[in-house]
Amino acid sequence: AADCGVTNAYSTPGDLGADRWVAMIAAHRLSDRAVCVVDCGTAVTVDVVTAAGRHRGGLILPGVTMLCRSLQVNTAGIELQDDVPASGILALGTRAGVEHGARILLASAIDRIVSELAEQGGEMPDVILTGGDAEQLLPLLGITVQHVPGLVLQGLAIMSEGRS
């Protein structure tokens, strides 16, 4: 399946979430190079589109809130009640430790994924970060990214233009 210059790599195209699809369409329109779209919401999705518009595939990770809830539900003694913020890399309370740990985990994963992509593809793709939790991860990333709030809405607008 292809739309607006992007070709879906999935063997069953309907398995790819609509939000991921329209985010890739918008990201492809924003760059003339390969792009890595990182959408930070309930889940963190990572999708790569070549400069020619071919989707190479993607990954789905639990988001910040899901990681925190998982620890709270599955670990004895983790009550997310305190609100002492993290100071630097370390936290001074359970809630801050869990939340900051989740953010560091995801930022590190994103850094690693992009690094691996660059090694495999020979060049660093443009990384576009979007989604409700993107601002929490931005200061923790070791890579250069373009923060584009509302990327999914931009993709919907592009698709709408193509159909009118």
Residue 23 and residue 37 in contact, taking contact as beta carbons nearer than 8 Å: yes
Catalytic residue set = 19
Is 124 a domain residue?
A: yes
* CB within 8 Å of 28: residues ≥ 6 apart: 4, 5, 6, 35, 49, 53
Q: What pLDDT score does 114 carry?
A: 95
Q: What pLDDT score does 43 carry?
A: 97
- Count: domains in the chain: 1
Number of other residues whose CB lies within 10 A of the CB of residue 116: 10
CATH, residue 68: 3.30.420.40
Is 13 a domain residue?
A: yes
For the segment 36-45, what is each residue's pLDDT rounded down to a tens digit? 999 999 999 9
- Domain around 116: 2-159
Is 10 a domain residue?
A: yes
Residue 103 and residue 140 in contact, taking contact as beta carbons nearer than 8 Å: yes
Record the pTM: 0.92
Is 153 a domain residue?
A: yes
Is 79 a domain residue?
A: yes
Is 164 a domain residue?
A: no
